[in-house]
Structures are given as structure tokens and as C-alpha cells.
């Protein structure tokens, strides 16, 4: 008898499963705890064990070659280049033999800066009364958030120096040495829907160039920060034809060549099994309604 997801995938012609995370840790992550559920080490291992029972892991190269696989496959990725990608996630992936792609932001590597959303997270964690206000702020409010953090006794630069939320260049080189793919995630993680076409291209091409030149990746993949909403088809036409890119609209088909949609596992406290199963059934429903293809 064929596995459930193989049968459902063939019936629905569902795309390859792409799942992504940001952080896995058993320690406090004050910059993230107010933003989304954090996976513990055991929860992450449980997620992977469930996925491996139903899907086979593939590398980015295998995804690009579009090989025919005998069972459902998945590609795993991680956004933002957080330190735990090296400290916690890498050993687990090596133990389980799972390839993955790690998307980084050049402005944050080596803990040079802190993303505006994480500044808001620090403020929200320390002063819950300000949570709604600061989480409503955007990339353009970075200076305001820095000023607000200082006024409330939060030293961002001390946090960068002591907590070290991001990976160092050496840690990223180490990931590449072990065979993991390094990709770009924009320069400093803005919301693309709030930028014009020129800014979108600059954020993308400059971050891809950084990964290519600094880490020796011939054709770095690119993952849109937050989402690819607000990106027009003409944007993709101006990227090199070999560019592989990712959005995060869940399980959806894509019209854009070389562009794939990913499913966020940290969107709820449920395990990966429940999230992925629900995504497949939702895809089936969207297919019936003709809404299973991403639109721009």
C-alpha cells in the first residue's frame, strides 16, 4: 500500500514540500519569545522524526534537477542566520542526515546589527504594555525602535555583543564545509510589499552578491523576508535565469520558474505532523476552488 502523502500528493499534484524554521533552542530567546512559538530541541527532533517517516530529504541541487523520486520529498531551510543554526540545529541535522539551506542577511552577520523586528521583540518582552505598539512598527521605524529601547533601558549593542543572536562568518563557513547550502535573505530583512521595485531588486541582488563573494556560493538561492507578497512578475524577469527563490505562502504551486513556496512550522505550537497534514488537506480544498496557485 502506498504511503498516505504519496497518494494525496499524486491526486492533488501538490508541489514539493518546503518547510522552514528560524530558531531551535532550550534557552530563553528574549528577542523572539514575543514574536512566534519557539521550538525546543526535543520538539524539533520530534518534528523531524515525523517528517522523515513520510518524506525523504533532498538537497537544493536535487530540487533543481527535478529528479523523479519513489516517495514524497521535502527540502528544509532556516531563515535569518541565527546563532542556534550553528550551535543547536547543525548537530541535529548531521545526526539525522538531513541536508538544508540557511538564508542569511549580510547586515546581521557577525552581529553587526539587530533586525528591527527583534528590537521590537526585546521591547515587548521587557515591557508587555508596549507590545502592541512596537510589533506594529516596520522597517522604516528602526531608528524609532532603537530610541525606544534606549529609553527603556535596553542596550541593543550589549545584547549583540553578549547574547550574539546571529552566526559569525566562521560559523557560516563551517555550515558550508559540512555541505549545507548558504543563501541570501535580503540585506536587512524589510517587508518587500512596502518597497518599490528598485529597492526590492537592490535588497535582493546585493545580498545574493554578498553570499556569492564572501562564502563562494556559485548561484546563491534567495528567500524573501517575511513574504513575497507585493513582488510583481517583472521582478523575477530581472533576476539571473539560474536564480532559485522562495516565498512562504505555504503549500502552493508557482507560475514563476525557479520560485517555490515554503510552509512555516513555527506558525503554531502544533507539531509538524499536524501542520503539514492540515496544509495538504487545505491544498486539496484550494485545488477544488482553483486557488492552489500563487497569484501576483
Q: pLDDT by residue (tens digit) across 195-250?
A: 999 999 999 999 999 999 999 999 999 999 999 999 999 999 999 989 999 999 99
C-alpha cell belonging to residue 288: 477544488
1 pLDDT more than 50: no
CA distance 96 to 185: 26
pLDDT of residue 247: 97
Taking a C-beta distance cutoff of 8 angstroms, is the pair 293, 49 a contact? no
Q: Write the CB contacts of 48 (distance below 8 Å, at least 6 apart in sequence).
A: 92, 96, 98, 272
2 pLDDT more than 60: no
- In the chain, pLDDT over 70 holds for what percent of residues? 94
Mean pLDDT of 97-124: 98
DSSP letter string over the chain?
---HHHHHHHHHTPPPEEEEES-B-SS--TTTTTTSPPBPHHHHHHHHHHHHHH-EE--HHHHHHT---SS-EEEEEE-TTBTHIIIIIHHHHHHHT--EEEEE-TTTGGG----HHHHHHHHHHH-GGGHHHHHT--GGGHHHHHHHHHHTT--HHHHHHHT--B--HHHHHHHHHTT-EEEE--SS---GGGS-HHHHHHHHHHHHHHHHHHH--SS--EE-SS--TT--HHHHHTS-TT--EEE-SSS-B-SSTTEEE-EESTTSSS-HHHHHHHHHHHHHHHHHHT--B---
pLDDT of residue 116: 98
pLDDT of residue 12: 58
Taking a C-beta distance cutoff of 8 angstroms, is the pair 24, 36 a contact? no
Q: Write the CB contacts of 109 (distance below 8 Å, at least 6 apart in sequence).
A: 81, 166, 167, 168, 169, 172
pLDDT of residue 4: 67
- The per-residue pLDDT of the chain, averaged, comes to 93
pTM here?
A: 0.95
pLDDT of residue 131: 97
CA distance 102 to 136: 27
Taking a C-beta distance cutoff of 8 angstroms, is the pair 56, 71 a contact? yes
Mean pLDDT of 276-286: 91
Q: How far is CA 210 from its chain centroid?
A: 18
Mean pLDDT of 2-26: 78
Homologous superfamily in CATH for domain 4-24+36-79+92-104+182-205+219-289? Glycoside hydrolase/deacetylase (3.20.20.370)
100 pLDDT more than 60: yes
pLDDT of residue 212: 97
CA distance 273 to 13: 20
125-168: per-residue pLDDT in tens? 999 999 999 999 999 999 999 999 999 999 999 999 999 999 99
Amino acid at each position: 500500500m502506498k504511503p498516505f502523502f504519496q497518494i494525496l500528493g499524486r491526486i492533488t499534484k501538490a508541489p514539493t514540500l518546503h518547510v522552514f524554521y528560524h530558531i531551535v533552542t532550550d534557552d530563553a530567546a528574549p528577542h523572539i519569545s514575543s514574536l512566534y512559538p519557539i521550538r525546543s530541541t526535543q520538539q524539533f527532533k520530534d518534528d523531524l522524526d515525523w517528517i522523515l517517516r513520510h518524506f525523504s530529504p533532498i538537497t537544493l541541487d536535487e530540487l533543481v534537477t527535478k529528479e523523479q523520486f519513489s516517495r514524497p520529498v521535502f527540502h528544509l531551510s532556516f531563515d535569518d542566520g541565527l546563532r542556534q543554526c550553528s550551535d543547536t540545529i547543525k548537530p541535529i541535522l548531521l545526526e539525522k542526515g538531513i541536508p538544508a539551506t540557511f538564508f542569511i542577511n549580510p547586515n546581521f552577520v557577525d552581529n553587526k546589527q539587530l533586525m528591527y523586528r527583534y528590537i521590537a521583540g526585546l521591547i515587548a518582552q521587557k515591557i508587555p504594555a508596549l507590545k502592541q505598539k512596537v510589533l506594529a512598527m516596520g522597517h522604516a521605524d528602526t531608528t524609532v525602535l532603537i530610541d525606544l529601547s534606549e529609553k527603556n533601558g535596553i542596550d541593543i549593542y550589549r545584547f549583540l555583543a553578549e547574547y550574539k543572536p546571529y552566526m559569525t562568518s566562521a560559523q557560516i563557513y563551517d555550515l558550508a564545509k559540512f555541505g549545507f547550502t548558504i543563501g541570501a535573505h535580503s540585506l536587512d530583512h524589510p517587508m518587500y510589499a512596502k518597497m518599490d521595485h528598485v529597492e526590492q531588486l537592490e535588497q535582493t541582488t546585493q545580498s545574493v552578491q554578498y553570499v556569492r563573494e564572501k562564502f563562494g556560493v556559485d548561484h546563491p538561492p534567495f528567500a524573501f523576508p517575511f513574504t513575497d507578497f507585493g513582488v510583481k512578475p517583472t521582478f523575477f524577469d530581472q533576476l539571473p535565469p539560474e536564480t532559485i527563490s522562495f516565498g512562504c505562502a505555504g503549500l502552493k504551486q508557482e507560475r514563476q520558474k525557479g520560485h517555490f513556496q515554503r510552509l512555516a512550522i513555527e506558525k503554531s505550537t502544533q507539531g509538524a505532523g499536524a501542520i503539514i497534514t492540515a496544509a495538504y488537506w487545505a491544498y486539496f480544498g484550494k485545488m477544488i476552488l482553483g486557488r492552489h496557485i500563487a497569484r501576483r
